[in-house]
Amino acid sequence: MSPFPLRALPLGMRLSLTALVVVLLGGYAASGLHMVDHHGPRDGKEGLTTTDIEGVYHGVLSPSPLRTALEEGHPGDAHPVPQEERDALLAWLGSGRIVEDWDNLDLGDMVPADLLDVNCLSCHSRGAEPDLKAEPMLEYLDDVRAVAFDNEVAPTDLKLLLASTHAHSLSLFTVALGAVLLLWGTRFGRGLVSGISLLISVGLLLDLVSWWLAREMAGWVTGIMIGGAAHAGGVGLAGLLVLLDLWLPRKGD
Ligand code: HEC
């Protein structure tokens, strides 16, 4: 027997708990939509993906567009780049001396600025024919510098993460406690009730802890996904069971 039988509460109490549970479920639905909306577009793929979450909590590395283009065989067979020159450009990009060696004459026939000039500037320069002209410009060192490096996108600022942890842990503690206590007051099997309570509470703990661990170790992004899903799913289930218990007649009613 549950210690706090919701179904036995007076009508006014049952109505007010119903309203509160609807507010709770609406709030979770809204925050789910907000996450998809706010973080979803980050990686350019539809919906909320692990990469989106990783971008927020761990940061992402976006590779140098110049190196990527060369590795992928750009600009293609119509404008072939001799393999030796392509290799020399890639070696330069990986050398750690991108700025120093850009026009280093000691490199003889393989000066990067000259290789870019011969192979690329017919399209990637300010003076290129209008129908060939393409971004990015590769004429000057500043042009090259902008696309030659891997770019590290830092995760959310530490102060913001701290503020967010503070706000979420205090408010979600209250919400989770409310959901667990209400669930305890339903008629459903104690095993089911305990299981859902564990999803709600351990899921929340895992989610919040993973926010912090994911900064250093990208693997914890999985903890954010699993913890968040378990917590939100548990609250959703608890809300439904509470509504059912409030309004379904019991044996003997
Ligand atoms: C015949 C013209 C032409 C030549 C020559 C050419 N490109 Fe391009 N390049 C383009 C066009 C058009 C685009 C944009 C569309 C695309 O990505 O194919 C582009 C895109 C790029 C991009 C951007 C890719 C991205 O991620 O947005 C880079 C970097 C690049 N080129 C580098 C080079 C380098 C390095 C060379 C010389 C080895 C070169 N290109 C030679 C036409 C050219």
- pLDDT at residue 100, rounded to an integer: 95
Average pLDDT over residues 43-51: 73
Q: Residue with the nearest Cα to atom 41 of ligand 1? A: 120
Query: Residues of 159-198 as b/e, b for ≥16 C-beta within 10 angstroms?
Result: eebeeeeeeeeeebeebbebbbebbbbbbeeeeebeebbe
- pLDDT at residue 20, rounded to an integer: 96
Confidence label for 153 from pLDDT (cuts 50, 70 and 90) = confident
Contacts of 188 (CB under 8 A, 6+ apart): 241, 245
User: Is-contact 155 77, C-beta < 8 A?
Assistant: no
Nearest-atom number in ligand 1 for the CA of 122 is 5
Average pLDDT over residues 30-50: 79
- pLDDT at residue 252, rounded to an integer: 67
* Cα distance between residue 136 and residue 236, in whole Å: 49
Q: Residue with the nearest Cα to atom 29 of ligand 1? A: 66
Q: How far is the CA of 28 from the centre of ligand 1 (A)?
A: 45
Q: How far is the CA of 108 from the centre of ligand 1 (A)?
A: 25
Q: Which tokens go with 178?
A: 């409310």
Q: Residue 183: which of 208, 205, 200, 206 has the closest Cα?
A: 200
Confidence label for 2 from pLDDT (cuts 50, 70 and 90) = low
Asked which of 1-10, 83-92, 115-124 is least confident by mean pLDDT, the reply is: 1-10
- pLDDT at residue 36, rounded to an integer: 84
If you count them, how many residues does the chain have?
Answer: 253
Q: Is the pLDDT of residue 67 over 80?
A: yes
Confidence label for 45 from pLDDT (cuts 50, 70 and 90) = low
* Cα distance between residue 57 and residue 210, in whole Å: 9
Nearest-atom number in ligand 1 for the CA of 79 is 5
Contacts of 146 (CB under 8 A, 6+ apart): 136
Average pLDDT over residues 125-152: 93
- pLDDT at residue 152, rounded to an integer: 77
Using a 6 Å CB cutoff, which residues line ligand 1? 65-66, 69-70, 74-75, 79, 81, 119-120, 122-124, 132, 134, 136, 147
Higher pLDDT, 250 or 91: 91
Q: How far is the CA of 107 from the centre of ligand 1 (A)?
A: 24
| Chain mean pLDDT for the chain | 91
Q: How far is the CA of 124 from the centre of ligand 1 (A)?
A: 7
Q: Is the pLDDT of residue 98 over 60?
A: yes
Q: How far is the CA of 74 from the centre of ligand 1 (A)?
A: 6
Query: Residues of 25-36 as b/e, b for ≥16 C-beta within 10 angstroms?
Result: beebeeeeeebe
Average pLDDT over residues 88-105: 95
